[in-house]
Amino acid sequence: MELAKLPDLKQLSRLSTGIIKNGQIQVHRIFEKPQLSTLILQHGKTNIKKLLAVLLDDFVMSFKTANRMTPTEYSSVLDNIIMEYWNLRLEDFALFFNRAKTGIYGKIFNRIDQEVLFGMLDEYVKQRSKDIEQKHEQQKAVAKKKSPQNEKGRKKF
């Protein structure tokens, strides 16, 4: 990803296209992309923070809440996202924010702040981990079926 010109919201939202199939996160598609930590090394923390800010801003603005974050809180949340979720990809965040708008990771009532956002992110990470585990189990089952030990007439140990 070239960051000479920062992508707009439409371009960032498209990052999540093709990542969901039959309601499941296609983890193999996400793992093809670099983690935030790698992007920060390549493009600098400021640029990555700007990209996350575009996604976060779109998310926050999609709700009518009485209590909004101050600019200082907003900046702190972005720094903490980078620090706590460095292993996720931009595609993860695009997918998370798109799905979080629908309430899939919890409802937004009167406020959006770090506590609410991180609770929702933790739900996303749990679901992502489940999907990774399911994919791994499916791959193991396929490999086991293809294994020569399972051919008729062979002994299993």
> How many whole angstroms separate alpha carbon 63 and alpha carbon 132?
30
> How many whole angstroms separate alpha carbon 84 and alpha carbon 78?
10
- Boundaries of every domain in the chain: 9-146
Assigned token pair, 110:
């009167």
Assigned token pair, 74:
């907003």
Res 101: pLDDT: 92
Radius of gyration from C-alpha coordinates of the chain: 19
Assigned token pair, 137:
């189990």
pLDDT digit string, tens, across residues 12-57: 656 656 666 666 666 667 777 889 999 899 888 998 998 899 899 9
